[in-house]
Amino acid sequence: MKKIALLPLCFLPLTTAVPVRAQSDNLTPLKERVNVQADSARANQIIDGRWVAVGTNKPHTICLDHSLPFRGRPSYRFELKQDDNTLEGYAEGETKGRAELSYCYAVSNDFRNYPASEYPNAQKMKTVYHYGKGSCPQGSSMSYTFSVYIPRSLAKDVSTIFAQWHGMPSRTLVSDPDGKVTRLSVEEFLELEKKMIFKKNMGYEKVAATNAQGKTVYKAGKPNGWLIEQGGYPPLAFGFSQGYFYIKANSDRKWLTDKTDRCNANPATAKVLRPVASTYKASTIAYKMPFDDFPKACWVTFKVDIDWTRYGKEKETILSLGMLDVTMTYRQDGKDIERHIVDKEKILIGRNDEEGYYFKFGIYRVGNSTVPVSYNLAGYEEHAR
């Protein structure tokens, strides 16, 4: 898949997705949603020239907040109520909820120099966003900045990720029923896709049926033993869980991710900078502080420098360690405070994918939690170092 070069960040004119009727005088709901893997974004779905929204689209979930501006512009307010979980959790019977803005997406113009078949093929492979803006390559060195405003009313027992960096899995990487892993060509994958249905990372028999309108539709039958690359835990996440604010770095050097390997550091019990490891994965709590100590009712700005780990593709090796450096700044009680909370630590951070990483922020409520969540985010910037 051709990779679009990372462009220097520039300030774009303010162009906001078409709003629906305001929820209040201060909040403008943003209800348009984009499946960035399978669809390109239309003009009315692009927010402030740089974002698209993902997750549940209830009017309260993502809003422009004019009452809490950041540097003179409305911030983004995110909220999930108790009954807003719409996704299956990691474990059977669990749920999770999502309302986020994605910095990575493609538009129809990104396909203008490709054959007409390129876009529908990318839809089938769920790689549409690979053609667009907002991602960086594996092994790159990047700087990121964003700000969060946590209200005093946020419950201590929330379980939410408010900023995360995602991998971009190579969907043509498959495993057959005998366990042989192969990177298929686009043509080979499309032939496979004609014969089976992939749900998450598993292949199922493709069963024809007739719907109420008399049209032929296809449903997933029995599992057929095929697996496909889907991804895994985010390589980097900032969030709250079990009474802590935490920063977690994850690494997976396996060429085809093993979804049954749930190597994942617990913010409450894992020691800082002591990786929890399996054969191929490592999960590290890079920093944590008690929830009660996290600054509330003020803008907290994080500056994050990352050297993403370099991996050896099919050899499943580590070619070079990564690096993580995090500074948080805020103003409280009339004082400007700066804390260097992760100091250029050598760390495993990333995934063994050919593609790279992209940023999202908002609410990703996990762990079967239904505790209501609401906070504001703003001020995102990124650039190569």
Q: What is the mean pLDDT of residues 278-300?
A: 98
The pTM assigned to this predicted structure is: 0.92
Q: What is the mean pLDDT of residues 308-337?
A: 97
Say if CB 85 and CB 96 are below 8 A apart.
yes
Say if CB 300 and CB 147 are below 8 A apart.
yes
Q: At what angle do helices 186-195 and 118-125 cross, to 10 degrees?
A: 60
What pLDDT sits at residue 24?
66
34-43, 89-98, 293-302, 332-341: range with lowest mean pLDDT: 89-98
Q: Which fold has domain 174-228?
A: duf1285 like fold (3.10.540)
DSSP 8-state class, residue 194: H
Cα→Cα distances 222→92, 178, 202, Å: 18, 17, 10
Q: Can you read off the two tokens belonging to residue 5?
A: 């070069």
What pLDDT sits at residue 23?
57
As assigned by CATH, the class of the 27-170+232-384 domain is mainly beta
Q: Which tens digits make up the pLDDT trace of 187-197?
A: 999 999 999 99
Q: Are strands 244-252 and 350-351 parallel, antiparallel or unpaired?
A: parallel
Measured between alpha carbons, how far is 68 from 76 in angstroms, rounded to an integer?
9
Instruction: Spell out the domain ranges in the chain.
Output: 27-170+232-384, 174-228
What pLDDT sits at residue 5?
40
19-23, 129-133, 312-316, 324-328: range with lowest mean pLDDT: 19-23
Measured between alpha carbons, how far is 120 from 105 in angstroms, rounded to an integer?
16
Instruction: Count the alpha carbons within 13 Å of 4 in the hemisphere toward its beta carbon.
Output: 22
- 1 vs 225, residue with greater confidence: 225
81 has pLDDT over 80: yes
